[in-house]
Structure 1
Amino acid sequence: MGATLVLGQQGRLVIPADVRAELGLAAGDRLHLQLSGRRLVIESQKDAASELRGLAAGVPKSRSLVDELLAERRQAAASE
């Protein structure tokens, strides 16, 4: 499915009704916008969160990415 959108004067886009229906979108739904090169990717927040959970699925529960990031930051600060 494809659609042509027109950017309004205030930077607003209107998603056509048939596209909203196909995606199950309703007024008030929150969408996540991401730049991918020169492309705009718009997805529901639920889909974006599911994608992130999938990316993190391979990280063992015993590993703390927060602790690793803090250790890296402390090491960088100490070497300045």
Structure 2
Amino acid sequence: MKQFPVKLGEGGRVVIPVDVRKELGIDVGDELMLHMEEGKLVLLTRKQAIQYVQEQMAKYEIGDRVLSQELIDDRRRETE
């Protein structure tokens, strides 16, 4: 696990080191999702946040039904 020391700046700002931004493919102005999980701050790219929600929803199966897939199918029908 890589660790990068950062400081909390004025107005609660945290600077993400350039090496981390490059590895994640993020740039200034990109939208990130921040949430707390078990007392920890978790910062995700939009793609990572979507994947996280999909993984969480995949846990909820009712018989042969997979609720996450039903939700995806509903959203696709709405856009058609």
Give the TM-score category using the shorter length.
Answer: 0.5 to 0.7
What TM-score does the superposition give when structure 2 sets the normalisation length?
0.65
What TM-score does the superposition give when structure 1 sets the normalisation length?
0.65
Segments of 5+ residues of structure 1 without an aligned counterpart are 66-80
Report the CA distance between 1:44 and its aligned residue.
0.6
Higher strand share: 2
Q: Quote the RMSD (CA, aligned, Å).
A: 2.3
Are 1:36 and 2:47 counterparts?
A: no
**Number of residue pairs matched by the alignment:** 64
Segments of 5+ residues of structure 2 without an aligned counterpart are 72-80
CA offsets 1:39-76 (integer angstroms, 9 cap, x no match) = 111111111112212332454268x88xxxxxxxxxxx
Separation in 1, partners of 2:13, 2:56: 31
User: What is the SS of the residue equivalent to 1:10?
Assistant: helix
Write the mapping of 1:1-80 to structure 2, written as runs, cut at 5 A. 1-57=2-58, 59=61, 60=65
Separation in 2, partners of 1:9, 1:26: 21
Separation in 2, partners of 1:49, 1:39: 19
Worse-matched range after superposition: 41-50 or 53-62: 53-62
AA aligned opposite 1:12: R
- 1:69 is aligned to none
Provide runs of 4+ in structure 1 moved above 4 Å.
none
| Higher Cα Rg, which structure | 1
